């Protein structure tokens, strides 16, 4: 007779643990893979010197231009963003060219990373973001 309460306690603990893992997993997904659009311009004096790109183990695997910029949402919210565009002639390159100084960019950024970026023309930048970029 004492085994039934023990089983219910174990089931309750299992339900709480599974629930906590589900909430943590959803939060991780939201923070990592759900992004907001931001807009920026590569400054005219931006240093385009290729930098080493390293793997997690510290080995250099390529070179590329590291971008550290301030971007703005369509409503004017600012966000510091950073991403690296690997040199186009590298084996790891996805074929993207480094956006040169003066280029406008549309970035989709999550809380933790830039998910994608593209080169756009100035008229495609929302007015609130454009005023802050030029300001």
pLDDT in tens, 36-70: 999 999 999 999 999 999 988 989 888 999 999 99
pLDDT band at 24 (very low <50, low <70, confident <90, very high): very high
Strand pairing class (51-54; 60-72): antiparallel
Per-residue confidence (pLDDT) for residue 97, from 0 to 100: 84
Domain-by-domain residue ranges, the chain?
Answer: 1-33, 35-134
Separation of alpha carbons 62 and 55, rounded Å: 9
pLDDT in tens, 26-43: 999 988 898 999 999 999
Report the CATH number of the 35-134 domain: 2.40.50.480
Residues making up the chain, counted from first to last: 135
pLDDT in tens, 79-106: 999 999 988 877 777 777 889 999 999 9
């Amino acid at each position: 007779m004492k085994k039934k309460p023990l089983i219910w306690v174990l089931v309750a603990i299992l339900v709480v643990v599974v629930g906590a893992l589900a909430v943590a997993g959803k939060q991780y997904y939201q923070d990592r893979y759900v992004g907001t659009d931001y807009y920026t311009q590569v400054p005219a004096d931006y240093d385009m010197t290729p930098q080493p790109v390293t793997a997690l183990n510290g080995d250099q695997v390529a070179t590329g231009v590291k971008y550290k910029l301030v971007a703005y949402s369509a409503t004017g919210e600012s966000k510091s963003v950073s991403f690296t565009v690997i040199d186009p002639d590298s084996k790891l390159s996805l074929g993207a060219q480094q956006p040169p100084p003066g280029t406008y960019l549309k970035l989709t950024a999550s809380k933790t990373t830039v998910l994608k970026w593209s080169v756009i023309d100035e008229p495609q930048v929302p007015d609130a973001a454009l005023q802050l970029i030029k300001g």
